[in-house]
Amino acid sequence: MGFWTRRNWMTLGAVGGFVAVAVGAFAAHGVRDDPRAAELLRTGATYGFMHTMATFASATFMQVGARRARFAPGFFLSGVALFSGSLYALALGAPDWVGAITPVGGLLFLAGWATLAWAARGVDPH
């Protein structure tokens, strides 16, 4: 399995949670004078946090026998990087074309959830 072990997925999930909380705090206190930037940061932090939690859910799925769940964290965390990361970049002044990356992250989120649904079919198959 190499680098992509449950331990490493969970570590990356924890780092993602840390970043989401830090960005959320920055949205609340650091960009008060720019409502658009604050909203972009809040949205990115919300989706980032939600999908780092989904990474932990994937680990739980794996623990109860849903081996296919091992594929979901890659979708979730890549989605966080693209979706949340592009929103963070826009909030900090990136050019508008960066917004074209955001939907790709959203599709990765959907792929992660579809993967978890597929993986759930492996739990208690009797």
Please give the Cα distance from 87 to 39 (Å, whole number): 9
Q: Where are the domains of the chain?
A: 36-120
Q: Would you say 119 and 66 are in contact if contact means Cβ atoms under 8 Å apart?
A: yes
Who has greater pLDDT, 116 or 126? 116
Residue 91's Cα: distance from chain center in Å? Answer: 18
Please give the Cα distance from 52 to 111 (Å, whole number): 15
pLDDT of amino acid 1: 54
* Average pLDDT across the chain, whole number: 92
pLDDT at 3 exceeding the cut of 70: no
pLDDT at 21 exceeding the cut of 60: yes
State pLDDT tens for residues 27-82.
999 998 899 999 999 999 999 999 999 999 998 888 888 889 999 999 999 999 99
Listed residue (83, 91, 80) closest to 17, CA to CA: 80
pLDDT at 4 exceeding the cut of 90: no
Phi, psi of 121 (to 5 degrees): -65, -15
Please give the Cα distance from 63 to 55 (Å, whole number): 13
pTM (2 decimals)? 0.91
